[in-house]
Amino acid sequence: GEEVDYRGVLHRDGSVLMSVTLDQLKAPELLYKSLAAKLIVGMPFKDLATVDSILVRELPPQDDKNARLALKRLIDISMGVITPLSEQLTKPLPNALVL
């Protein structure tokens, strides 16, 4: 499998977490901006002001490729995607963290 860098999920000087809804996942670029991620050609990048992790209480359905791609891109930049165990068991998202 692929390696995931979880070092950015929490920050040693204090972490910023934000709740994200399914509606927010419908507009990925707006979501990335609300998380204070830098955008380069529509792709998010983390910097000092970016949210460290997000709490997603409800994962998108398996067939919602756009929402799942948005979450994957956040995981790829070392942002933690935290979800309830019940969601991860029914609609697994690779490399998400379970609460």
Question: In percent, how much of the chain has pLDDT > 90?
Answer: 82
Query: Tokens 């955008």 sit at which residue?
Result: 39
Cα 1 to Cα 22: distance, rounded to the nearest angstrom: 27
- pLDDT of amino acid 4: 82
Instruction: Report which residue type is found at 46.
Output: K
Cα 58 to Cα 86: distance, rounded to the nearest angstrom: 9
Q: Say how far residue 79 (Cα) sits from the centre of its chain.
A: 6
Residue 3 resides in a domain: no
Strand partners, 44: 39
Mean pLDDT of 52-75: 98
**What is the pLDDT confidence band of residue 1, given thresholds at 50, 70 and 90?**
low
Residue 1 resides in a domain: no
Tokens standing for 83? 């979800």
Mean pLDDT of 25-32: 97
Domain that holds residue 55: 17-98
Q: pTM of the full predicted structure?
A: 0.92
The tally of domains found in the chain comes to 1
Cα 60 to Cα 56: distance, rounded to the nearest angstrom: 9
